[in-house]
């Protein structure tokens, strides 16, 4: 069994070390290294197909990497250290580790036949072992925090897209994660609904949640993120303070991407 690569930042909440992932002939991740300290917000930008979403899916072990290592809160994802050394984790053990990571997708992924409340309480009871009373109390608090108090008995089809995405955020937070991953959470929304979701994410950042956010919302990235990472062809091409990367990128590929993005928004 391949031994884990040495960690470069033992105190990081999330650390990705030399990550590789391919899909047939396509190289999605090509030796990615990234460390995220507790409480940091990392914005990830890049063209479609550059590897951004694959990185989040590998961190969450929804798509196990081909090689390289992912550490989350001191755990090497996909592996368990026992008396006889390191071994591959079982599906059940991976699910337990994954419970520390909340993930919000583009398209909400709510259960349409469940009410808002049922969507939120199911996983905490099944995975975390919460009592129904505790799960319900947590769900009500979270719905209030995302501006949806009173929507407990609504079904997803009765909500706007922005409301559904805020329910998805509340559902992820109900697991009490250490890290939140956002995969372009506003890309499927009408423009007038984007701000309400970004407002919820800003509040999370202000409360100290560790977050990795794949986004095309550059103003959000500049205002909220500690670091902006530009991805291209499975590699991190440039990373730094968002205002520096956006206003004075040092790499030609970053400059070309930002120019294309600006032309599309004019």
- What angle in degrees, to the nearest 10, is found between the helix axes of 132-145 and 116-123? 120
**Cβ count near 248 (within 10 Å):** 10
Cα–Cα distances (Å) from 218 to 31, 234, 262, in that order, read: 26, 20, 10
Residue 7 has pLDDT above 80, yes or no: no
Both structure tokens of 167: 């329910």
Residue 244 has pLDDT above 80, yes or no: yes
**Confidence at residue 10, expressed as pLDDT on a 0 to 100 scale:** 58
**Confidence at residue 108, expressed as pLDDT on a 0 to 100 scale:** 84
d(CA 41, CA 210): 6
If you average pLDDT over every residue of the chain, what do you get? 91
Q: Is the dihedral of CA 149, 160, 172, 40 positive or negative?
A: negative
**Confidence at residue 3, expressed as pLDDT on a 0 to 100 scale:** 43
Residue 11 has pLDDT above 60, yes or no: yes
**Confidence at residue 266, expressed as pLDDT on a 0 to 100 scale:** 44
User: Which one is predicted more confidently, 258 or 210?
Assistant: 210
pLDDT per residue as tens digits for the range 149-180: 999 999 999 999 999 999 999 999 999 999 99
Mean pLDDT, range 59-74, rounded to an integer = 94
In DSSP terms, 212 is beta-bridged to 42, 181
Q: At 86, is the pLDDT very low, low, confident or very high (cuts 50, 70, 90)?
A: confident
pLDDT per residue as tens digits for the range 185-208: 998 888 888 999 999 999 999 999
Q: Which of 54-58, 172-176, 257-261 has the lowest average pLDDT?
A: 257-261
**Confidence at residue 82, expressed as pLDDT on a 0 to 100 scale:** 73
**Confidence at residue 6, expressed as pLDDT on a 0 to 100 scale:** 47
Q: Which of 56-60, 143-147, 257-261 has the lowest average pLDDT?
A: 257-261
d(CA 78, CA 27): 21
Mean pLDDT, range 35-42, rounded to an integer = 96
Model confidence, pTM: 0.91
Residue 112 has pLDDT above 60, yes or no: yes
d(CA 25, CA 9): 32
Residue 41 has pLDDT above 50, yes or no: yes
């Amino acid at each position: 069994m391949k031994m884990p690569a040495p960690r470069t930042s033992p105190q990081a909440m999330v650390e990705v070390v030399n990550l590789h992932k391919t899909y047939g002939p396509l190289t999605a991740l090509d030796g990615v290294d990234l460390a995220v300290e507790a409480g940091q917000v990392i914005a990830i930008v890049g063209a479609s197909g550059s590897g951004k979403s694959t990185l989040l899916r590998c961190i969450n072990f929804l798509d196990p990497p081909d090689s390289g290592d992912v550490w989350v809160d001191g755990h090497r994802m996909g592996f368990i250290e026992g008396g006889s050394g390191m071994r591959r984790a079982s599906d059940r053990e991976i699910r337990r580790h994954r419970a520390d990571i909340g993930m919000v997708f583009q398209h909400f992924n709510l259960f349409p036949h469940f009410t808002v409340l049922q969507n939120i309480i199911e996983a905490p009871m099944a995975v975390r072992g919460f009592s129904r009373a505790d799960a319900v109390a947590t769900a009500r608090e979270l719905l209030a925090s995302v501006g949806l108090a009173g929507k407990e008995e609504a079904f997803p089809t009765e909500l706007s897209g922005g409301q559904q995405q805020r329910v998805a955020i509340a559902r992820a937070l109900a697991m009490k994660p250490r890290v939140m991953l956002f995969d372009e959470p506003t890309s499927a929304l009408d423009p007038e609904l984007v701000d309400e979701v970004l407002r919820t994410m800003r509040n999370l950042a202000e409360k100290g949640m560790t977050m990795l956010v794949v986004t095309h919302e550059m103003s959000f990235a500049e205002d909220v993120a500690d670091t902006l990472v530009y991805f291209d062809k499975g590699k991190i091409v440039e990373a730094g303070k968002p205002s520096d990367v956006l206003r004075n990128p040092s790499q030609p590929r970053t400059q070309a991407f930002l120019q294309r993005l600006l032309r599309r928004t004019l």
